[in-house]
Chain A
Amino acid sequence: MKQPLWMEKLQQIDRKVLYLMLILATAIPLFIKGLVIPVKIEDSTGALFVKLNSLPEGSVVVIQSDWTVSSRGESAGQLEALLRILRSRKSKFVLFSAADPQAPQVARNVIRRVNKEFPDGGFKPWQDYVDLKYFPQAESFASSMASDLRKAWDRTMIDPADGRSKSVFESPVLKGVRRLEDLQLYTIVTASGTPRIVIQRFGSPSRVPIAALVTGVMGPEHMNYFAAGQLIGMSNGLRGVVELETMMVEGVNHRVDGKASKAEYKRFNGSIPPLEGAQYKRGMQYFASLHTALIMLIILVILGNMGIFTKWFRKGDA
């Protein structure tokens, strides 16, 4: 019996060692401040950002938040980025979930966290957003929104001005809204396949532009909808969050002193300046860790495969 080569020994590394390496690879970059990794803007994310930035002041956007803590790593960053852009556009929004009863509370926590960033206290309930909580049966709910929005959203909320419980349609957010066409954008932050349900039921072409901010797992599946124009824009996983943050900080096709922009979006003819006071946040902080982890994974996969091949060849020799 031949002595195993060092490459073959690699295959016998204890799992626990690999886990430890993975923990170190993901944790150490988190302590390094100010790391910025350049990223190419995908068409889907670029289109989403441009759409968000063309929203007129006071426009009403829907945020269907269909994720819970199990996908916090990606979805929290998506929702945070979305809220920051909406704030910069002075947009109002409607929040609800059609996937999980726990989702609205998780979204509220994110809103509270993002609100702390703004000196004026950020989004105010009733004035800037209405919270419609949770609707079960996503299919039927999407159908009823398409058929009668006022009936579908028939909920009450407390007006902080006088402490009375009123219909959400009396709020400054939904005052002029009667049907889907009155909304400027319908966004879905999700860890599952809910955009499909909405696309299926909002008509073709959709009566309100739909955008999806999905996890990396669901990303490839939703590319089709973006390619076919059924989604106006899409942000895919952690990378999507980083792209949104990059566009917020660098602007889109925004040149300073004739230098090339750090965020180029080819399909967009114009340019968008950086958002006021924008900074790299959670997305970019995680992105460095993602890189170290993926590099480690790639190296290990290559080494592991080399080990298998050397084993094969040696068997062939014997």
Chain B
Amino acid sequence: MGEQYYDTGWISILLVLLFSAFVLFNIRRAIASKGSGKEVYIRRIAGLNAIEEAIGRATEMGRPVLMVPGIGGLNAISMQALNIFGHVTKTAARFATPIRLCCADAAVYTVAQEIISETYQREGLSERFDQDSVRFISDRQFAFATGVSGTIHREKVAAAFFLGEFFAESLIFAETANSVGAIQVAGSTQNTQTPFFIAACDYVLISDEFYAASAYLSRQPVLVGSLVGQDWIKMTVMGMILFGSLASTFEVVSGLKTQERDGTQLVDGERKSISDTWFYHQLKPDAPKPEEIPQREPADGVTEEGGGA
């Protein structure tokens, strides 16, 4: 049992603990500073202006705002999308702009309904909330795509927000909304779909910008803290890569010889664990030492680095 943890190695554990600590510490910081006037800083990204502009446009035209939280299930991504939609709804409610929120997942639908009706209540505009504005369309990908496209066509939406997990249906939405002249803001954590949104939408929140927008708008300490924590992680990784690259370049230039020790060795042209990490032996004291493991017959010529270098 638990064999997947044997070869974790102490560096990995240390880094994961460090990274978790970054996030937890910043969440703590964000909670402590909430309401104190000196809140944890995150910069305003350009995409937020696009969101405001899109709602403004819909209000001017008196046509609905469409929101789609992707086709993923109830997870962090769709929750963050719903956070942003809460903000969109708040502005839309004030100006009595109609909204349409189309869901592909039953659980997301339930949560979306709660969030949207709550938003109207908080603004004291419960009478403006239309039960039918949050809809469950279908949980089949292309059936959902057809349903949303139909809504876009019939209701001639003025602004469309596609935020969340999108797959092959992304271009169908973006093309349809484009054909009715809607201003579109999209953001997907799926790298494969972002190019399509970039080609067809007016503004796109690229990968992490999506989380940043959600944290900026909702100001929830957990989101703000996580975002800042992630920044620290990114900076650590940048430092590691920069230092590592310079160090290994120095190693080559100066002719220094360093020994690599990473608990692996080349067998058959692949990196194989030789299972000699301290952590491994703590979990499995009876495991054979690396020198006791017989070597397999190696293959010739294939590099262990694949397409790298």
Q: Are A146 and B4 in contact (CB under 8 A)?
A: yes
B308 pairs with A227, CB closer than 8 A: yes
In the complex, A223 has a CB within 8 A of chain B: yes
CA distance A229 to B191 in the complex (A): 21
Does A50 lie within 8 Å of B306, measured CB to CB? no
Residue B14, interface by CB 8 Å: no
Query: What is the 8 Å Cβ interface bit string for chain A, positions 196-221, against chain B (1 contact, 0 not)?
Result: 00000111110101000000011011
- The answer to whether A50 and B192 touch across the interface, beta carbons within 8 angstroms, is no
Tell me if B299 and A54 are in contact (CB < 8 A). Answer: yes
> What residues of chain B lie closer than 8 Å to A54, measured between beta carbons?
268, 299, 302
**What is the minimal beta-carbon distance from B256 to any residue of chain A, in angstroms?**
24
Q: How far is the CA of A148 from the CA of B3 in the complex (A)?
A: 8
Chain A residue, CB-CB nearest to B12: A204
Which among B3, B6, B264 has the highest number of chain A CB atoms within 10 Å? B3
Chain B 2-23, CB-CB to A under 8 Å as 1, else 0, gives 1110111000100000000000
Q: Is the CB of B7 within 8 A of A270?
A: no
Q: Is B270 an interface residue (CB 8 A)?
A: yes
A270 cross-chain contacts in B, Cβ below 8 A: 300-301
> Would A203 and B7 count as touching, CB distance under 8 A?
yes
B272 touches A (CB below 8 Å):
yes
Known: A54-B268, A205-B271, A209-B270. A229 touches B4 (CB 8 A): no
Q: B residues 135-184 with Cβ under 8 Å of A?
A: 168
Residues of A near B300 (CB, < 8 A) are 269-270
The distance in angstroms between the C-alpha atoms of A218 and B3, with both chains bound, is 29
Interchain nearest-CB distance for A197 vs B (Å)? 12
B79 to chain A, nearest CB (A): 19
Q: How many A-B residue pairs have CB under 8 A?
A: 80
The answer to whether A217 touches B192 (Cβ under 8 A) is: yes
Check B268–A227 contact: CB distance below 8 A.
Answer: no
Query: Given A54-B268, A146-B3, A146-B4, are A227 and B307 neighbors across the interface (CB < 8 Å)?
Result: yes
Q: How large is the interface on B (under 10, 10 to 19, 20 to 34, 35 or more residues)?
A: 20 to 34
Contact with A along B267-309 (1 / 0, CB 8 A): 0101111000000000000000000000000011111111110
B252 within 8 A of A: no
Contacting A at CB under 8 A, from B221-249, are none
Given contacts A146-B4, A147-B3, A207-B273, contact A228 B308 (CB under 8 A): yes
Closest Cβ of chain A to B112, distance in Å, is: 24
> Which applies to chain B's interface (DSSP): helix, strand, loop or mixed?
loop
**How many A residues, CB 8 Å from partner?**
35
Q: Which of B192, B270, B299 contacts A205 (CB 8 A)?
A: B270
- Decide yes or no whether A62 CB sits under 8 A from chain B: no
Which residues in B have their C-beta under 8 angstroms from that of A207?
A: 3, 7, 273
Q: What residue of chain B has the Cβ atom nearest to residue A50's Cβ?
A: B302
| A203 adjacent to B302 (CB under 8 Å) | no
Is A2 in contact with chain B by the CB < 8 A criterion? no
Task: Give the residues in chain A near B301, CB-CB below 8 Å.
Answer: 267-270
- Which 10 residue pairs spanning A and B have beta carbons closest together? A269-B301, A146-B4, A43-B307, A205-B271, A227-B308, A226-B306, A54-B299, A203-B7, A268-B301, A227-B307
Having A204-B12, A205-B264, A270-B301, one finds 11 other A-B pairs with CB under 8 Å, namely A42-B307, A47-B302, A148-B3, A202-B4, A203-B3, A203-B273, A205-B272, A207-B7, A218-B192, A233-B306, A270-B300
Q: Give chain A's interface residues, CB within 8 Å of chain B.
A: 42-44, 47, 50-51, 54, 143, 146-148, 179, 201-205, 207, 209, 217-218, 220-221, 223, 226-229, 231-233, 267-270
